[in-house]
Amino acid sequence: MLIKRNLLLFFRDKANVFFSLLAVLIIIGLYILFLGNLMEQDLRSALGFDSDKIGVVMASVTLAGMIAVTSITSCLGALGISIADKQNAAKDFLTSPVSRGKITTSYILGSGAVGLIMTLVALVLCVAYIVANGGSFPNAADWARLILTAVLSVLCGNAMVFFVSVFMKSQSAFTALSTVIGTLIGFLMGIYVPIGSLPNAVQWVIKCFPMSHAAGMFKQILADGELSTLFHNAPPEVLTDFRETFGVVFVYGDVSSDFWFSAVVLVATTVVFYALSLAVMRTSRAS
């Protein structure tokens, strides 16, 4: 019942739903207005030839990152309910017969459910856009990997924003945090600018940001097939360089992040941040 309550509170608040998707809407707007054309022109110049697949490749790479952004911003928006309760209804919950553990779990599961719903909606819309513009429809194996990636992305994003929300005491502070995250998340995932064109220090920040791996996993599934078609006559190193430049894979010395490498990063991050959240909450109660 608590989870159902949290879901209803989130989806009934249209403003909350809108602002939780604001970062995604900004990415879509920038891509449609000028970012997509700029990226396509740069790629045509770099390749030295034109192809119908260039637009599909750039859409796949950019929109794949957008799906990963949805998984963290929607969870963040849903966790706003816990902050509102903490500020306005804390005494009511503490005097109820429901344990603190169940209340906290309801916030985590509720925000995770919101994140998964919104991420799957974003995934379907992105696939529809890619297919409508000449891309290939994912097969059954690809859909299985897409859904797995969506689940892992939501788990990781939810764990990270829940850890941050533990320190929030007021809605104004949480709103400010949401604004900062919504502004920076596109840069932290390397969506606005190709990672390979950034300074080395900034590249490492993106590579070490766990949610960038979720974006990379989506890119590998949605874009790799189109990339193979686009670069079928080019030397293998050209394709390798493109995948690294646009964050389809990350390279750490001699190690390259394939799909399962990134999946392990997301799972490990989920465990670490939930453990940290539990430790912080136990410490604050003890004090």
- Indicate the residue type of 19: F
DSSP 8-state assignment for residue 31: I
Res. 37: pLDDT tops 90? no
Res. 157: pLDDT tops 80? yes
Which tokens go with 220? 């590998």
Most confident stretch, 11-20, 43-52, 145-154, 249-258: 145-154
- Give residue limits of the domains in the chain: 2-286
Instruction: With cut-offs at 50, 70 and 90, classify the pLDDT of residue 11.
Output: confident
Range 40-50 average pLDDT: 69
* More confidently predicted of 33 and 74: 74
Range 37-43 average pLDDT: 73
Residues 183-236 pLDDT 10s = 788 888 878 778 888 889 989 999 999 999 999 999 999 988 888 888 787 778
pLDDT score for 115: 92
Query: In angstroms, rounded to a whole number, what is the distance separating the alpha carbons of residues 15 and 182?
Result: 15
Q: Give the helix/strand (H/E) hosting 252.
A: strand 251-252
Pairing mode, if any, of strands 255-256 and 251-252? antiparallel
Query: In angstroms, rounded to a whole number, what is the distance separating the alpha carbons of residues 186 and 264?
Result: 22
The proportion of the chain whose per-residue pLDDT surpasses 90, expressed as a percent, equals 28
Res. 108: pLDDT tops 60? yes
Greatest C-alpha distance within the chain: 69
Res. 242: pLDDT tops 60? yes
Alpha helices in 95-253 (DSSP H): 100-132, 140-165, 171-188, 200-208, 210-230, 236-245
Instruction: With cut-offs at 50, 70 and 90, classify the pLDDT of residue 129.
Output: confident
Buried b (16+ CB within 10 A) or exposed e, 20-33: bbebbebbbebbee
Residues 264-279 pLDDT 10s = 999 999 999 999 998 8
Res. 180: pLDDT tops 90? no
Q: How far is CA 275 from CA 70, 133, 140, 269, 279, in A?
A: 24, 43, 35, 10, 6
- Indicate the residue type of 102: K
Query: In angstroms, rounded to a whole number, what is the distance separating the alpha carbons of residues 155 and 113?
Result: 10
Instruction: With cut-offs at 50, 70 and 90, classify the pLDDT of residue 143.
Output: very high
pLDDT score for 92: 60
